[in-house]
Structure formats: structure tokens, C-alpha cells
């Protein structure tokens, strides 16, 4: 019976007798591209390509959601309990058989003498019993922003992305391995204080927020201090966004420069001039000489980042 049904369905499909009754026809999808609402949205995305208004829109949305649910959520506004903590350490056999489910490969690669740079706990000490009764804990990647100190780079970054506040400008980021307990401080703060936009805690912030550290247990945290640190780091969120947009802009400029030489038959000066014209349009730079200077810096910065990335790949 089932085979007969399958045969009938296949025949209907082949003959065109089986059609779909639901879904959106292709012409309606194409037609939507010309709707006023779609055109307005596309114009907004284009206009905010190199500023932080897009981030501001999401920040306002998050603040609205926080005001809507903060009083009703037991996660965001947890009740304070004085129940004593039960700390249980894994046996030798349990520890040897444990693998961090979040990143098993990283867990196995970390040596036994590793210590968290924040809480100073060892690899074994970060393993703890979860509320569900299972062993948990591991080692996480934390990316620390590295400030830009070169005066030429600071001038160029602020000139190319004037729509960002640029109170803090990132040169790059540095990866630091920390324990999952310290990483959870930042995660829980975002759940507790959704009214604080663009939260970020540095290594020093996380260290200073810890009230007590114990092996195989959750950290005791000063949440008020953590919130104050996050508020003081408000400019970092904007800096991350500006950093990613700058990297994207640098890659585009480099490719534009290379294509002008390779496919356009341009010499270096002519290729830089093409990039400069793009900068005058996108970054609203009126002076042609200034735009040319920015073009040369942007292409060289893209080449520098590419060389550094290739060097990291070779070392790894």
C-alpha cells in the first residue's frame, strides 16, 4: 500500500499534477524589493553602513525589552538566598574521564599546570558539580581589546568612521584563556542587567569583581561593582563595532586597489586615486589630497593585517 502511494505521488509530481498550495510566489518576493518599506529599510542600512546608528537601534530595542521583563524574570532579578554552598571535588577517575562538552579539543590541549589568569585556579579546580548533578566547567576564550596608540592610525580611523564616538579606538584584540567560572560572570551580568547596553568586562574588571574564589565552586561576585565596571566600559562596545567596520573597509580598499592594477590596467598612483574617490564618497571627505592620504594608509593597514594573520597561521 505504501509503495503504491509513493508511486502515485511520483507520477503526480512528474505530470505536474501535484502543485503547492502554500508559500510565496517568486514574483511576490521580487515585488517586495520595490515596496516603500523595503526601500526605506535598504536606505537605512546603506546610510548607517559606517556609523553606529544601527547599534543604537538595537540598544533601544534591548532597553525596551529589559523594561518589559525585568521585574517579572527570576533570572534577571534573582532572589538572594543564604543557603550554604555544597562543594564537591571530582575523584581522580572522574577527573581523568572528564571532557569539557563546550570545547573538548581545547580542554585536552591545555596542560595540567595551566592556571586561570583571573582567579588563579588550576585546570582541575575549575571542574565542579552542576545543579543537574553533572560535572561541568572548562576553559574559555576571552578577547581583550588592545588600544590604538599610533597617532596617524588614530587620525585615520576617526576620519574614516566619523559616525562613531571613537572615545576608545581598538588596534586589535588579544585572546586570553580563562576559566568558565570567570566567563560566567560576564554572561550572568548580561542576564541580570539588560538595562546596561554594550556590556564588556576586562580581565582586571573580572578579577576585581570577585569576592571569594573556591576550587570546584561558583565564584562569589560583587554584582554592583561588576555593573559599575560595565557602565564605565560603555565606549568599548562602540569600539568593537567600529573595529569590525574598519577591518571590512580596509579589505574592500585593498581589493579595489589590487583589481584596479590587475584588471583595470592602472599603475599604483591611479589605483590609489580610485580608492581615494571611494573614500570621498563613503566617508564624506571633501579634500582630494586628504582622501588620497587616507587611501594609502587604509591599503597599507590591510596589508599589515593580512601579513600578521598569515604569520599567526604559520605559527599555529
In this prediction, residue 39 carries a pLDDT of 75
Within 104-231, strands assigned E span 128-129, 135-136, 139-147, 170-179, 210-212, 220-221
Q: Is 212 helix (H, G, I), strand (E, B) or coil?
A: strand
Lowest mean pLDDT among 175-184, 232-241, 250-259, 266-275: 232-241
Asked whether the beta carbons of 311 and 303 are under 8 A apart, the reply is: no
Mean pLDDT of 227-253: 92
Q: Is 216 helix (H, G, I), strand (E, B) or coil?
A: coil
Q: Which residue has the higher pLDDT, 272 or 68?
A: 272
Lowest mean pLDDT among 55-69, 218-232, 284-298: 55-69
**pLDDT of residue 1 exceeding 70:** no
pLDDT tier at 261 (50, 70, 90 boundaries)? Answer: very high
Average model confidence (pLDDT) across the chain: 85
Query: Which grid cell is 172?
Result: 586589535
Asked whether the beta carbons of 221 and 119 are under 8 A apart, the reply is: no
Task: Show Cβ contacts of residue 168 under 8 Å, excluding neighbours closer than 6 positions.
Answer: 145, 147, 235, 236, 238, 239
For 189-199, the pLDDT digits (tens) are 998 998 887 88
In this prediction, residue 74 carries a pLDDT of 44
Residue boundaries of the structural domains of the chain: 92-234, 239-315
In this prediction, residue 283 carries a pLDDT of 85
Exposed/middle/buried for 247, CB within 10 Å: 0-12, 13-18, 19+?
Answer: middle
**pLDDT of residue 18 exceeding 70:** no
Pairwise CA distance, residues 296 & 128, whole Å: 53
Helix (H) or strand (E) holding 52: none
Q: Is 181 helix (H, G, I), strand (E, B) or coil?
A: helix
Lowest mean pLDDT among 50-54, 95-99, 176-180, 281-285: 50-54
Lowest mean pLDDT among 142-146, 189-193, 281-285: 281-285
In this prediction, residue 76 carries a pLDDT of 47
Pairwise CA distance, residues 49 & 162, whole Å: 12
In this prediction, residue 44 carries a pLDDT of 67
Given the C-alpha cell 517579572, which residue does it identify?
72
**pLDDT of residue 71 exceeding 60:** no
In this prediction, residue 7 carries a pLDDT of 74
**pLDDT of residue 108 exceeding 50:** yes
**pLDDT of residue 257 exceeding 80:** yes
In this prediction, residue 315 carries a pLDDT of 54
In this prediction, residue 311 carries a pLDDT of 75
For 148-170, the pLDDT digits (tens) are 999 999 999 999 998 888 889 99
Amino acid at each position: 500500500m505504501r509503495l503504491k502511494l509513493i508511486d502515485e505521488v511520483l507520477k503526480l509530481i512528474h505530470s505536474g499534477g501535484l502543485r503547492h498550495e502554500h508559500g510565496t510566489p517568486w514574483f511576490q518576493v521580487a515585488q517586495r524589493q520595490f515596496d516603500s518599506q523595503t526601500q526605506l529599510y535598504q536606505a537605512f542600512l546603506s546610510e548607517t553602513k559606517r556609523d553606529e546608528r544601527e547599534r543604537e537601534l538595537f540598544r533601544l530595542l534591548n532597553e525596551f525589552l529589559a523594561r518589559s521583563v525585568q521585574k517579572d524574570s527570576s533570572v534577571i532579578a534573582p532572589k538572594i538566598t543564604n543557603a550554604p554552598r555544597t562543594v564537591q571535588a571530582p575523584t581522580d577517575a572522574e577527573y581523568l574521564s572528564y571532557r569539557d562538552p563546550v570545547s573538548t579539543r581545547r580542554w585536552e590541549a591545555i596542560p595540567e599546570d595551566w592556571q586561570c589568569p583571573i582567579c588563579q585556579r588550576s585546570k582541575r579546580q575549575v571542574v565542579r558539580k552542576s545543579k543537574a548533578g553533572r560535572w561541568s566547567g572548562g576553559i574559555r576564550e576571552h578577547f581583550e581589546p588592545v588600544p590604538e596608540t599610533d597617532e596617524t592610525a588614530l587620525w585615520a580611523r576617526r576620519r574614516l568612521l566619523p559616525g562613531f564616538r571613537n572615545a576608545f579606538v581598538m588596534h586589535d584584540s588579544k585572546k586570553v584563556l580563562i576559566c568558565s567560572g570567570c566567563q560566567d560572570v560576564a554572561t550572568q551580568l548580561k542576564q541580570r542587567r539588560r538595562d546596561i547596553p554594550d556590556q564588556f568586562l576586562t580581565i582586571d574588571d573580572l578579577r576585581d569583581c570577585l569576592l571569594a574564589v573556591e576550587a570546584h565552586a561558583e565564584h562569589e561576585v560583587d554584582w554592583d561593582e561588576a555593573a559599575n565596571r560595565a557602565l564605565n566600559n560603555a565606549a568599548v562596545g562602540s569600539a568593537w563595532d567600529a573595529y569590525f567596520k574598519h577591518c571590512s573597509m580596509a579589505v574592500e580598499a585593498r581589493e579595489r586597489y589590487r583589481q584596479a592594477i590587475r584588471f583595470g590596467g592602472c599603475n599604483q598612483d591611479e589605483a590609489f586615486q580610485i580608492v581615494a574617490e571611494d573614500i570621498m564618497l563613503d566617508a564624506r571627505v571633501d579634500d582630494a589630497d586628504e582622501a588620497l592620504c587616507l587611501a594609502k594608509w587604509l591599503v597599507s593597514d590591510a596589508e599589515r593585517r593580512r601579513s600578521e594573520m598569515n604569520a599567526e597561521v604559520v605559527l599555529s
